[in-house]
């Protein structure tokens, strides 16, 4: 599906047009394509002059995000995340930048695009909202009062990337909550399900870390002016985005360390429980073993065993058995191996 946004003739807002009816103009246009068909790829290539193979390759999730200039246009790929069937997945967003067109292409619908679309559907309020340069004072007007297409291609790309980074922050908050639950369960009642939860979250953090480090390199490349379509004075806003990504990387690394500590805590808890079980079995075995030894000795019935003809032989054997049990009990109690009264 292809959607096109362009400035209306009065330059007081943005309108949506059908791709079949769209005509290239000097002002900034945004073309968004999701789940493209072969026919749509051919149409995009014909309208923008970008080869089909490059458009299709920009969505390849196996490639590392990158920035590259082809002369007439530049390509920026940025990795986003989404959750499917309670599992974390990542998708590639391809951004082609020309002097008058920003083409975004991706294989699946992304929720964060709704935020950008809402900004496009919001009409600017007054002349200052239309023509105020964002690079002069980006904080001067609230986002909902300005349309991204009334500014510049660099600001549009910035908002797209900022929305993706915002998704990372939201998912990190979810992971933090899940990690807290795992910690509480390990301290309260550790089970084998804890290890499954730990490894699931660690796997998600690993994928997030790889995506974020690659995205950080992309932002760094933009700051080094690898995209000639962006004005140098406009690129400075990406420094804030770089800082956010660096913060996310630190948070992800911290949570990975926390999960490693939780796993060590779980393994220690399991080992301690096993030691308690072994210790209990050892105590019980000791209580039974020595009386059994006494009973075995006096059960041999040798001819010259004096206790066999002794009147008190039977009570003596029973008493000896009881004495060993009492001695072992007080010994284990002193060592702290049993908690019995």
- The CATH classification of domain 2-124+150-269, taken from the options 3.90.1170.30, 1.20.120.640, 3.40.190.10, 3.30.460.20: 3.30.460.20
Give the confidence band of 278 by pLDDT, cuts at 50, 70, 90. confident
Give the confidence band of 244 by pLDDT, cuts at 50, 70, 90. very high
pLDDT at 246: 93
CA distance 256 to 192: 20
Q: How far is CA 244 from CA 29, 172, 216, 226, in A?
A: 28, 13, 9, 20
- Beta-carbon count within 10 A of 35 CB: 12
Q: How far is CA 181 from CA 78, 178, 187, 195, 248, in A?
A: 32, 5, 10, 13, 21
Paired strand residues for 89: 82
208, 89 Cβ separation under 8 angstroms = no
Contacts with 136 (C-beta within 8 Å, 6 or more apart), sequence order: none
Q: Which tens digits make up the pLDDT trace of 300-319?
A: 877 778 877 788 888 888 88
pLDDT at 260: 86
CA distance 32 to 164: 15
- Beta-carbon count within 10 A of 312 CB: 9
Q: How far is CA 338 from CA 129, 131, 178, 226, 287, in A?
A: 78, 81, 37, 71, 12
Long-range contacts of 81-85 (CB under 8 A, 24+ apart): 81/167, 81/168, 81/171, 81/207, 81/208, 81/211, 82/108, 82/110, 82/111, 82/167, 83/171
Q: Which tens digits make up the pLDDT trace of 20-58?
A: 767 766 677 888 888 888 888 888 888 888 888 888 888
Q: Where would I find the beta strands (DSSP E) of the chain?
A: 2-7, 14-17, 29-34, 67-69, 74-84, 87-97, 101-106
Let me know if the fold of 2-124+150-269 is the same as that of 274-335.
no
- Per-domain residue ranges for the chain? 2-124+150-269, 274-335
Query: Between 164 and 85, where is the model more confident?
Result: 164
Q: Which tens digits make up the pLDDT trace of 63-108?
A: 888 998 888 889 999 988 876 666 677 788 899 988 888 888 888 7
Contacts with 4 (C-beta within 8 Å, 6 or more apart), sequence order: 16, 17, 18, 19, 22, 29, 30, 31, 32
DSSP string, 265-313: HHHHHHHHHHHHHHHHHHHHHHHHHHHHHHHHHHTS--TT-GGGT-TTH
CA distance 92 to 188: 41
67, 75 Cβ separation under 8 angstroms = yes
CATH number for the domain formed by residue range(s) 274-335:
1.20.58.340
Report the share of the chain in percent with pLDDT over 70.
Answer: 81
* Residue 237 main-chain phi, psi, to 5 deg: -65, -25
290, 324 Cβ separation under 8 angstroms = yes
2, 46 Cβ separation under 8 angstroms = no
The conformational region for residue 301 under phi > 0 = left, psi -120 to 50 = alpha, else beta, is left
Q: How far is CA 114 from CA 130, 134, 164, in A?
A: 21, 21, 12
219, 161 Cβ separation under 8 angstroms = yes
144, 223 Cβ separation under 8 angstroms = no
- Beta-carbon count within 10 A of 288 CB: 11
Instruction: Return the closest-CA partner of residue 106 out of 86, 119, 90.
Output: 90
Give the confidence band of 132 by pLDDT, cuts at 50, 70, 90. very low
């Amino acid at each position: 599906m292809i959607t096109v946004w362009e400035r209306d003739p009065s330059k007081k807002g943005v309108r949506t047009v059908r791709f079949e009816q769209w005509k290239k103009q000097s002002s900034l246009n945004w073309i968004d394509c999701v789940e493209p068909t072969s026919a749509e790829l051919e149409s995009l290539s014909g309208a923008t002059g970008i080869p089909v193979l490059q458009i299709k390759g920009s969505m390849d999730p196996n490639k590392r995000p990158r920035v590259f200039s082809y002369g007439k246009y530049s390509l920026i790929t940025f990795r986003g995340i989404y959750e499917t069937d309670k599992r974390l997945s990542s998708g590639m967003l391809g951004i082609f930048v020309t002097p008058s067109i920003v083409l975004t292409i991706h294989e699946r619908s992304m929720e964060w695009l709704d935020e950008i679309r809402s900004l496009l559907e919001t009409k600017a309020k007054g002349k200052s909202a239309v023509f105020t340069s964002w690079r002069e004072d980006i904080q001067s007007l609230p986002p909902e009062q300005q349309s991204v297409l009334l500014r510049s291609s660099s600001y549009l790309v910035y908002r797209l990337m900022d929305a993706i980074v915002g998704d990372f922050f939201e998912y990190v908050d979810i992971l933090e909550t899940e990690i807290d639950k795992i910690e509480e369960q390990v301290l309260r009642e550790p089970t084998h399900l804890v290890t499954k939860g730990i490894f699931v979250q660690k796997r998600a953090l690993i994928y997030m870390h790889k995506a974020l480090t690659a995205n950080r390199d992309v932002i760094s490349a933009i700051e080094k002016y690898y995209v000639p379509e962006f004005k140098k004075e406009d690129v400075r806003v990406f420094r804030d985005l770089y800082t956010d990504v660096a913060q996310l990387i630190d948070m992800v690394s911290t949570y990975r360390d926390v999960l490693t500590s939780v796993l060590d805590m779980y393994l220690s808890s399991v080992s301690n429980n096993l030691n308690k079980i072994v210790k209990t079995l050892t105590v019980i075995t000791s209580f039974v073993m020595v009386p059994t030894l006494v009973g075995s000795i006096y059960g041999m019935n040798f001819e010259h065993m004096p206790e066999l003809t002794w009147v008190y032989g039977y009570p003596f054997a029973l008493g000896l058995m009881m004495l060993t049990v009492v001695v072992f009990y007080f010994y284990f109690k002193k060592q702290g191996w049993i908690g019995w009264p």
